[in-house]
């Protein structure tokens, strides 16, 4: 089957249009990635709080930020204890993860109290396992996860009369205040094992 000159011009026009728009759309896809990298970069103020060792309590909504102790601005300075930096960032990550869990669990406990539903079996099972043998969940994440369950069971009323977003922030804030103050020795014991 032979193509007419009109088909050829149409196909050629489509090819040119495709070549022009694809690189543009690819560049647009990369832009949010670059923006998110820049948004998550440690600011000079956060690096200064980290240098002073008070980042956990001085950065607003710290649980939403990456660990500032891992900043290249700190690593170049003399007197920075690299082991402590690693432990602080490990605690930071574990506290962020467990704060998300604490919020989800707290909302679950709230719904349970409101509706009389059963507590999800995996939570009860996790709670029982943690209560029986906390050492099995060793180190920071197990310790913080255990507290996330206990926190949720005690503080389910934080969701009462609030929007889910407002309650989520309140849970994470209260959970963070406890978690960020936990001794680094808990995380160090995991490294020593």
Domain residue extents for the chain: 81-192
In this structure, the number of other CB atoms found within 10 A of the CB of residue 63 comes to 21
Sequential pLDDT tens for the chain (193 residues): 455 555 545 454 544 444 454 444 444 444 557 766 667 788 889 988 988 889 999 999 999 999 998 877 666 666 667 788 889 999 999 999 999 989 998 998 888 887 776 666 666 555 554 444 444 455 678 888 888 888 998 999 999 999 999 999 999 999 999 999 999 998 887 766 5
Contact predicate 169/126, CB 8 Å: no
Q: What integer pLDDT is reported at residue 53 of this predicted model?
A: 86
Best CA proximity match to 176, nearest among 84, 68, 80, 56: 56
Q: Which of 125, 193, 186, 42 minimizes the C-alpha distance to 133? A: 125
Q: Given this model, what pLDDT does residue 32 score? A: 59
pLDDT of residue 184: 92
What is the DSSP secondary-structure string of 54-94? Answer: -HHHHSTTGGGS--GGG-HHHHTSTT--HHHHHHHHHHHHH
- pLDDT score of 182: 93
């Amino acid at each position: 089957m032979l193509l007419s000159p009109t088909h050829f011009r149409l196909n050629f026009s489509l090819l040119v249009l495709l070549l022009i728009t694809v690189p543009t759309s690819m560049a647009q896809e990369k832009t949010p990635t670059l923006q998110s990298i820049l948004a998550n970069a440690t600011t000079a103020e956060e690096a200064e709080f980290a240098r002073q060792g008070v980042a956990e309590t001085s950065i607003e909504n710290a649980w939403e930020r990456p660990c500032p102790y891992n900043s290249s601005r700190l690593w170049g300075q003399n007197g920075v204890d690299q082991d402590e930096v690693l432990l602080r960032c490990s605690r930071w990550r574990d506290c962020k993860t467990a704060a998300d869990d604490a919020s989800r669990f707290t909302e679950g406990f709230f719904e349970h109290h409101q509706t009389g539903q059963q507590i999800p079996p995996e939570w009860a099972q996790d709670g029982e396992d943690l209560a029986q043998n906390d050492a099995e969940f060793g180190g920071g994440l197990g310790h913080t996860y255990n507290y996330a369950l206990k926190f949720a069971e005690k503080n389910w009323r934080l969701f009462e009369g609030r929007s889910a977003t407002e309650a989520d922030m309140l849970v994470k804030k209260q959970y963070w205040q406890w978690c960020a103050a936990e001794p680094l020795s808990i995380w160090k014991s995991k490294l020593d094992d």
